[in-house]
Structure 1
Amino acid sequence: MSQFISEKNFEQLKKLAYKTMKVKKGMFLFQEGQLGENFFVVLSGKFQISKFSGDGKELCLRLCGSNAVIGELMIFAENGRYLFNGRALEDSEVLAIKNEDIEKELLANPEFAVEFLKMMTDHFRKQHTKFRDLVLYGKKGALYSTLIRMANSYGIQTKDGILLDVPVTHQDLANFSSTSRESVNRELNTLKSKGIISFKGRKIIIHSLDYLKKQINCEGCPSSYCNIE
């Protein structure tokens, strides 16, 4: 559940749902360009929110688990189409809410409207910073930014450094950095040779988070913004 929506209003949001949907692993709940008539609340499972570039590369923007709100950017957009893709990373279940129903609730309930607006602003800010890192610092900077965000979302402090307590493949990192798996592999090996990171099975240990932050002129955003979710 978003930090900006109270439990009372979140329960009210879920009551607006008109159906429950099961989404199999690998299936798209929505795709960019499709008419955006609904948005969704994740009940269980996990979704990846992404966008494809003109050359077919995928840029991953968010990982969304239980109680996340996704596909919400089409509200009050007449004949709006989804800007991003939502694909299930595991078997998942969601509530579907019609845009017209949430629009009526927002107009009738000022308290709920303010909280919902804060949540959407939060999503915009997170996406803006991710695009900023990619544009200003290139694909290497996007990789460093991804590692920092993963540390904030999944990092566990150990005696050896910050363990990213989530299995991650080089292709996963490539998707978050809008680059190739080969480029990620080379850059990770460079970081390993410098002692910045090491590997523990499929997990990464970051030994110097400060090094990564310095390379992209990290602004010290709170972890509530600088995360992978």
Structure 2
Amino acid sequence: MTLAKIPTKIHELFIEHGLVIKVEKGCQLFQEGERAEDIFLIQSGIIQLSKETENGKELTLRICSTNGMIGEGSPFCNLHYHVATAKALEHTTLLALQYRSFELLLTEHPALMLDYLNWLQIENMKNQSRLRDLMLHGKKGALFSTLIRLANTYGEMREDGAIFINFALTNTEIANLCATSREMINRMLNDLKKHNIISFDKSYITILDFHYLKDEINCENCPISICRID
């Protein structure tokens, strides 16, 4: 269920002009509040973007993998600091472009500028749809929509119609994606397992009844390009 995440021509800009950066598992690429100077394209690996609340709770905003772009909010604006913390969940290789260089390259190629703006609008729609689910359907909606987004991003369809989410997540990490507590996630996941909606083996979840999750939150059947976790 994976999709290309950025236009091919913009990907080529990073290949031609980007600087290779490697980040070890568990290390930070940048921290919330730090000065922002570069925009990044993930060549391999996985980067988690998160924010920390005043009481120290972590909220995961995105989990980005190969061909994902991060730090994309600052070009063409006066935002010169990172609004989230980026941490490698596994050994990750990225290409970095300075914001000023990226801006100049897009300005010189109007067709690429339109591609970038179109891609950025899709990213905004992702954020809006996730916020809508959190606000309208509470904790249950947050979990169900997160499972749907994980399936659309990392899901592998099985012959029996089940969807295996090929991405390991602890209950704490799922709670951070849902802006709720681990105890609440534990109860809801166990209840879904009891009713044969999902199964789980260690940190891997298989969705047995995908339509149930969608029906429970009145899913609007957004395009998969929008209903994603990356």
Q: So what's the TM-score if we normalise by structure 1?
A: 0.90
The corresponding residue for 2:63 is 63
Structure 1 CA distance for aligned equivalents of residues 99 and 162 of structure 2: 45
Q: How many Å separate the matches in 1 of 2:201 and 2:79?
A: 48
Query: Which residue matches 1:151?
Result: 151
1:203, distance to aligned residue in structure 2 (A): 2.1
Aligned residues: 227
Given that residues 33 and 83 in structure 2 are in contact (C-alpha distance below 8 angstroms), is that contact kept between their aligned partners in structure 1?
Answer: yes
Alignment of 1:1-229 (within 5 A): 2-3=4-5, 5-6=7-8, 8-17=9-18, 19-158=19-158, 159=160, 161-229=162-230
Cα deviation per residue 1:61-104 (whole Å; 9 max; x = unaligned)? 22212222111111122252222221100111212111111111
Give the counterpart letter for 2:30 in structure 1.
F
Distance 1:163 1:3, change over 3 A: closer
Identity of aligned residues (%): 40
Q: CA offset at residue 160 of structure 1? A: 6.5
CA distance in 1 between partners of 2:85 and 2:201 (Å): 31
Residues 198 and 209 in structure 2, CA contact (< 8 A), matched pair in contact too: yes
Instruction: Find the aligned partners of 2:161 and 2:226 in 1 and give their Cα distance.
Output: 26
TM-score, structure 2 normalization: 0.90
Q: Which amino acid aligns with 1:174?
A: A
Structure 1 stretches of 5 or more lacking a match? none
In structure 2, how many angstroms separate the alpha carbons of the residues matched to 1:9 and 1:150?
Answer: 25
Per-residue CA shift, 1:139-159, capped at 9, x if unaligned?
221111111111212223332
Residue type matched to 1:5 in 2? P
In 1, are the aligned partners of 2:148 and 2:214 still within 8 Å (CA)? Answer: yes
Partner of 1:74: helix, strand, or coil? coil
Give unmatched runs, 5+ long, in structure 2.
none
Q: Which letter does structure 2 place at the counterpart of 1:205?
A: T
Q: Is residue 197–residue 208 contact of structure 2 (8 Å, CA) maintained in 1?
A: yes
Q: Partner amino acid for 1:195?
A: N
CA RMSD between the two structures:
1.9
Note if contact 1:42-1:94 (Cα within 8 Å) is conserved in structure 2: yes
